[in-house]
Structure 1
Amino acid sequence: MLDSVLPETTDATAEEATGADGRPTAGPSEFGLLGLPRPLVSALARQGITAPFPIQRATIPDILSGSDVLGRGQTGSGKTLAFGLPTLARVAGERARPGRPRAVILVPTRELALQVHDALEPLGRGLSLRMRTVVGGMSMGRQIDALRRGVEIVVATPGRLTDLIEQGECALDDVRVTVLDEADHMCDLGFFPVVTALLEQTPADGQRLLFSATLDRDVDKLVRRFLTDPVTHAIAPETSPVDTMEHHVLQVTRDDKFPITAEIANRDGKTIMFVRTQHGVDRLVKQLARVGVRAGGLHGGKRQNQRTRILSEFREGAVNVLVCTDVAARGIHVDDVSLVLHVDPPQDPKSYLHRGGRTARAGERGTVMTLVLPNERRSTESMTRQAGIRPFRLKATPGHPRVAEVAGAQPPSGEEVPVWEPAPLNSVRRRRDGDDRSAGRRPRRFRGRGRHEGGEHPRSGGERSYGDRQDRPGRRDGVPAFGESRDGARGGGRPYREGGRDNRGGHAEPREAGHRNDRRGRRPFQNGGAANRHGH
């Protein structure tokens, strides 16, 4: 049994105190009292983490005991360490065979996979655990090499993990712990059949952990089918907004929309702006540069290495404004984001809460603002009501003192600056054997399949490859519709499927809701596979 080879746990007592921010703190042994091994407690202490968050305090003992766990908590509540720490402890002490990981953590997007890996990999070193991300848009050859050497924990998106299983490079027979993080978002992206097929390949007596913001529809089906007598921990109501968020709805005219956006973008502090389409992201970044505001753009049309560098430089403060789409930003955790601006209103309450969750994380305070055109007022009011939000409302104009007071908005310089892009990496391509294909290239036999890759699904909600049409004649330059399908703007082309190559050289973002990635008649696994991943 794994329990017989767990590293030594701590047994010191914890002394609680109150920190300067009013949050309870504790001695470095409080995690030890939860049953975590000493190397993990020491690694946490070196990072300055000494007091568990409520969801960690609630779930860690149950996971260590081997129980299936169903966890629900608001964004920024500490879910990654809640499942990650006990998972590390559960698989410690036994080396994985080549291509047979001991634990699998499934996440919906590449960025979230990288963040989970970055949070857990340093902690696992003290337990001699090897960890690897398995996601699309990155070198499959390197991932295969790592699996052949053996890794205890795989952090994966469903599409790429399925690819490697089909090639015979990975098997889930030895998996003792399976984690589904952000299960609701995975199901929203259409991954329910794929996740089901993957779970069916794990041992029936293995431990399953499911963490989700909501527990409805397909998530509930996963719970009933794969979790055995799960212990449920709900830290916050399903749809409650974070208490430390301040919500504002700014009613604007079409002519004033961009000037107000530019003033907010020119504020001090980190700001994330959401628009509906990839084309809208690129256009807003260029328009902000024309008035003197440097911003980075993040969407699925960019290569993975570009996305990673943009996020890195946003974290480090090289650029303070990040313009992104829903799918690309899902799961992003950046400290000190003080304002989230919905340039395009979200399409449903869940998207509103997930977007807003990029700020006010882990007890910090933040502001969420939404720009609303006249024809969007009714739908936005309905959405905020369903989300349980009671925002402050304001008819805003450029230079409005209330916007300056709440958001720190200030007029931009008006002097054009270059469109900001992260510094390129000098990389050398190598052919297979040390296979280092550039990010985004696929093995030859997989090209043309058109399958989604890297966790960003075939039918995501709301984002399209091209977005809205170009500015129409007679419209003022600098007053875009940013992909506002509600305002009559048309999509400019057929959405690309994730995993395919677009004619700009990058991976396209997932399809819109309602589109299917039709692969009828194919079986997802060659060897004793489960039902077709798309349910056919």
Structure 2
Amino acid sequence: MTFADLGLSEDLLKAVSDAGYTTPTDIQREAIPPVLMMKDIIGIAQTGTGKTASFVLPMIDVLASGRRRALMPRSLILAPTRELAAQVAENFEKYGKNHDLKLALLIGGVQMGDQVKALNEGVDVLIATPGRLMDLFERGKILLNGCELLVIDEADRMLDMGFIPDIEFICSKLPEARQTMLFSATMPPPIEKLAKKFLNNPKRIEVSRAATTNKDITAFKVPVESRKKRETLRWLLDHDHVETAIVFANRKTTVRELNKSLQSHGFRSGEIHGDMDQSNRLKELDRFKKGEINILVASDVAARGLDIKGVSHVFNFDTPWHPDDYVHRIGRTGRAGAKGRAFTFVAKEDAEAIDNVEKLTGAKIKVFGKEDVRVELVERPVERSEEKPKRAHKKREDDEPRDEKPARSKSTPKAKSEPRRKRDADDAPVAAGEWNGPRPGFLDISAT
């Protein structure tokens, strides 16, 4: 099946073809025809499956005819984060280039002036985060009674971020005679309740079981002591043929310190987290997309909404607190049929969190070094300098364990020729399926 079989207009098909796409994904094939028929939709699909285009493409054709009015957007797309909202806007600009449609992006972190000006001129598509939309609505800068079409994207993330009361308020201000689409990677009970309340006889499309992970992603858990996480990360970045990688941490302070640590060891890394203003976040994303940096350290603010081609690896420096976040984090790799690898660092205190992840996904995550290990994991030249820059270690406070090595006893001077793996001196033949490459210390820790 091709996009031409889905009932899209010629102008839209040309834009899709110019973007380099010919075959629709499963969610696109199932969702586009009923959206064109003006039916309500519940779409359940894992991240990276082309979900955004599944509603953007038919919306462009649906909105092709009609008249814009000041302060009254004709359609509304709600997204939980600035990055996801910006990604949706990029999709409209890319696929709607042959249509006369105006859009406005309402997100926090930027001045309201331009946003209000765009609304005054009239927009066909309003893409917004709930907080900024509520702010403008309460100021009387926007009217919602002319909205013909509503999309709630990443609904489960809306739930996690506490946006459901705002969503319910916004829906109550929209006309009852409208088309509504709700998309989510998982479907917890509060989202089911929201769908029953605001959708009219929706068509349910589920192209993968809720909370499943992409089949193109090979996922591992890495048992490691907290103080050894940074060392382990650097080892994997050097040895697992990493082209581009996103490293996720649970805390913003960890993101900042980890990025500094990687840079001090010669890696081309950058960071993105919630304390950065929007312009700086976009600059870092642009540097990552252009290849100026190949490692992006991120908090969960970026776990959804990053649609970057060619991310070869995802590293969960911290096991995510919420199991749903695991699905969305590792979904940044293995996109559009490409292969990807994901590593989750599991310290002793993460035992409950990783158990919850495995319960959600319904599958045990392989232990790195025990199953499906690349035989080509060998020493290889890397882009960064092999000489680590010397720097003075300043005492600092942080809520994460430091990866500095404990002080060496004065009575036990370091032997210059002492091999690093002396404590693992087991040179017997390795059984099939076991680790057969360079043996880092974290493999000696029991997997739980």
Aligned residue in 1 for 2:365: 391
Question: Letter of the aligned partner of 2:247 in structure 1?
Answer: M
8 Å contact from structure 2 (residues 319, 346) kept in 1: yes
Instruction: Show the counterpart of 2:11.
Output: 39
The correspondence for 2:294, drawn from 314, 320, 324, is 320
Is 1:95 aligned to residue 25 of structure 2?
A: no
What's the CA shift for 1:89?
A: 1.3
Aligned match of 1:292: 266
- Aligned match of 1:78 in 42, 50, 59? 50
Distance 2:143 2:356 in 1: 46
Partner SS state of residue 370, structure 1: strand
Deviation of 1:376 after TM superposition, in Å, equals 2.7
Aligned length: 398
**Alignment-derived partner of residue 76 in structure 2:** 104
CA shift at 1:395, angstroms?
A: 6.7
In structure 2, do the counterparts of structure 1 residues 103 and 280 end up closer, same or farther at CA, with 3 Å as the change threshold?
A: same
Question: How far has the Cα of 1:379 moved from its partner?
Answer: 4.1
State the one-letter code of the partner of 1:165: F
Shift of 1:475: 6.9
Out of 39, 60, 68, the position equivalent to 2:40 is 68
Q: Does residue 386 of structure 2 align to residue 413 of structure 1?
A: yes
Deviation at 1:328, TM superposition (A): 3.0
* The one of 173, 176, 182 aligned to 2:148: 176
Inter-partner Cα distance in structure 2 for 1:305 and 1:476: 40
Counterpart in the other structure of 1:356: 330
Distance 2:50 2:356 in 1: 30
Change in Cα spacing, 1:322 to 1:408, as seen in structure 2 (3 Å) is: farther
Query: Is the aligned partner of 1:258 residue 2:197?
Result: no
Cα deviation code 1:73-96 (max 9, x no counterpart): 111111111111111111222121
CA distance in 1: counterparts of 2:402 and 2:142, whole angstroms:
51
Alignment of 1:159-174 (within 5 A): 159-174=131-146
User: What SS does the corresponding residue of 2:377 show, helix, strand or coil?
Assistant: helix
1:403/1:409 contact within 8 Å kept: no
CA-atom RMSD, angstroms? 2.7
Shift of 1:201: 1.0
Query: Does 1:249 pair with 2:221?
Result: yes
For residues 308-362 of structure 1, the C-alpha deviation after alignment (integer angstroms, 9 at most, x for no partner) is 1111111111100010111233221111111111111112321111111111112
Tell me the residue number matched to 2:417.
Answer: none
Give the match for residue 399 of structure 2.
Answer: 469
- The answer to whether the 8 Å contact 2:76/2:128 transfers is yes
Deviation of residue 468 (structure 1)? 4.6
- TM-score of the pair, normalised by structure 1: 0.70
**How many angstroms apart in 2 are the aligned matches of 1:246 and 1:406?**
19
Q: Find the aligned partners of 2:256 and 2:350 in 1 and give their Cα distance.
A: 23
Contact 1:66 1:207 in 2 (8 A): yes
2:159 is aligned with 1:229:
no
Is the counterpart of residue 157 in structure 1 residue 153 in structure 2? no
More deviation, 262-271/48-57:
262-271
Q: In structure 2, what is the Cα distance between the partners aligned to 1:354 and 1:46?
A: 28
Kept in 2: contact 1:93–1:127 (CA 8 A):
no
Deviations 1:403-437 (A, max 9, x none): 9829989797243399xxxxxxxxxxxxxxxxxxx
Give the number of the structure whose alpha-carbon radius of gyration is greater: 2
1:112-135 C-alpha deviation (Å, 9 max, x unpaired): 011110111232232200011111
Quick one: distance in 2 between partners of 1:294 and 1:348? 29
Gap change, CA 1:403 and 1:412, over 3 Å in 2:
farther
Quote the Cα distance in structure 2 between the aligned partners of 1:149 and 1:302.
Answer: 30
Matching residue's letter, 1:163 = D
Equivalent positions of 1:337-348 (< 5 A) are 337-348=311-322
2:381 and 2:272 mapped to 1: Cα distance? 22
Q: Deviations along 1:343-387, whole A, 9 cap, x unmatched?
A: 111123211111111111122111111112234345424432432
CA contact (8 A) 1:63 1:69 kept: yes
Match of 1:283 in 2: 257
Describe the shift of the 1:268–1:412 C-alpha distance in structure 2 as closer, same or farther (beyond 3 A).
farther
What TM-score do you get using the length of structure 2 for normalisation?
0.83
In structure 2, distance between residues paired with 1:68 and 1:373: 44
Aligned residue in 2 for 1:115: 87
Identity fraction in percent? 34
Verify the 8 A CA contact 1:241 1:388 in the aligned structure 2: no
